[in-house]
Amino acid sequence: MSDSTAIAHGAAETPGHVHGEHPPYQRHHFETVEQQADATNFAMWLFLLTEIMFFGGLFTAYLIYRNWYYPAFVAGSHQLNIFWGTANTAVLISSSFTMAMGVWCAETRRKGGLVLCLVLTFILGLVFLGIKTIEYSEKIEKHHVPGFHYSLQSFLNPDSDPEAKAAGDKPLPLDMARHTEVYFSLYFAMTGMHALHMIIGISILGFMIFRAQAGAYTTGHVTFVENFGLYWHFVDIIWIFLFPLLYLISRHQ
């Protein structure tokens, strides 16, 4: 290319590169810091696309089996505690709120506010996992974990089971009772995969709290917080769908 049509890339081609030309956090293969922010933001959205398709397989399986084995899914759903489920939904929505506020604090350079919001999000995430632990241990106790001594008693004889009795369940025929195992498989697969994403998110949050306290995100370089926010909201959206699909199949009689 001839010189008359070339664009000089600032000070990059001179040895002893001067960092005053661009912020220190700008990588050298980017022309401007806006390009870098744009590109990384787009990359996070593409990653979320892969997550949509990843969970998509599970939702497909769920839809098919719910339609094939509706009574089993109803009985299985009645085994879940609606109080904990609603609480968890509220917890996650609140954590999305605190995360969004955290991004706002980063954008408006409020270091203290950012740290507070991240800490709140962190705590709410842990609360979610705590409630999940309570729910899972209850399932383990009642032998509703697929594959491991799975018990059909609650579905063949609902009066023996407090949750089934409270929901007014009728006994299921044997083959339909067996299909409750498919419901719980999907319950554990979907909530388990979701919880795994929560754990990863909370770990990154822990890292971010330290970095935020050091002022890394309140000097104009907000992309990490923003992009993590996108991830966190996405995990919330997954739960927004998991909650009615798993917990609220039919509470009316």
Positions 197 through 236 that interact with another protein (CB under 8 A): 229-230, 233-234, 236
Question: DSSP labels for 199-223?
Answer: HHHHHHHHHHHHHHHTTTTSSS--H
Q: Which stretch binds another protein (CB under 8 A): 24-32, 129-137, 152-160, 205-213?
A: 24-32
Q: Does residue 99 touch another protein according to CB under 8 A?
A: yes
Q: How far apart are CA 103 and CA 108, in angstroms?
A: 9
End-to-end CA distance of the chain: 77
Q: How far apart are CA 77 and CA 81, in angstroms?
A: 9
3-class SS of residue 128: helix
Number of residues that bind another protein (CB under 8 A): 94
Q: Does residue 101 touch another protein according to CB under 8 A?
A: yes
Smallest separation, CB 206 to another protein (Å): 21
Q: Does residue 42 touch another protein according to CB under 8 A?
A: yes
Q: Does residue 14 touch another protein according to CB under 8 A?
A: no
Report CA torsion sign: 192, 195, 201, 203: negative
Would you say 129 or 237 has its CB closer to another protein? 237
Q: Does residue 46 touch another protein according to CB under 8 A?
A: yes
Smallest separation, CB 133 to another protein (Å): 19
Considering only residues 170 to 199 of the shown chain, the ones binding another protein according to CB under 8 A are 175, 178-179, 181-182, 185-186, 188-189, 193
Q: Does residue 31 touch another protein according to CB under 8 A?
A: yes
Considering only residues 109 to 168 of the shown chain, the ones binding another protein according to CB under 8 A are 146-148
Q: How far apart are CA 185 and CA 193, in angstroms?
A: 12
Would you say 71 or 171 has its CB closer to another protein? 71
Query: According to CB under 8 A, which one of 16, 29, 141, 149 is a site residue for another protein?
Result: 29
Instruction: Report the 3 state secondary structure along 88-119.
Output: HHHHHHHHHHHHHHHHHHHHCCCHHHHHHHHH
Q: How far apart are CA 153 and CA 79, in angstroms?
A: 12
Q: Which stretch binds another protein (CB under 8 A): 104-112, 135-143, 151-159, 202-210?
A: 104-112
Q: How far apart are CA 112 and CA 63, in angstroms?
A: 45
Smallest separation, CB 159 to another protein (Å): 22
Q: How far apart are CA 102 and CA 55, in angstroms?
A: 27
Q: How far apart are CA 166 and CA 243, in angstroms?
A: 20
Considering only residues 56 to 95 of the shown chain, the ones binding another protein according to CB under 8 A are 56-61, 63-65, 67-69, 72, 82, 86, 89-90, 93-94
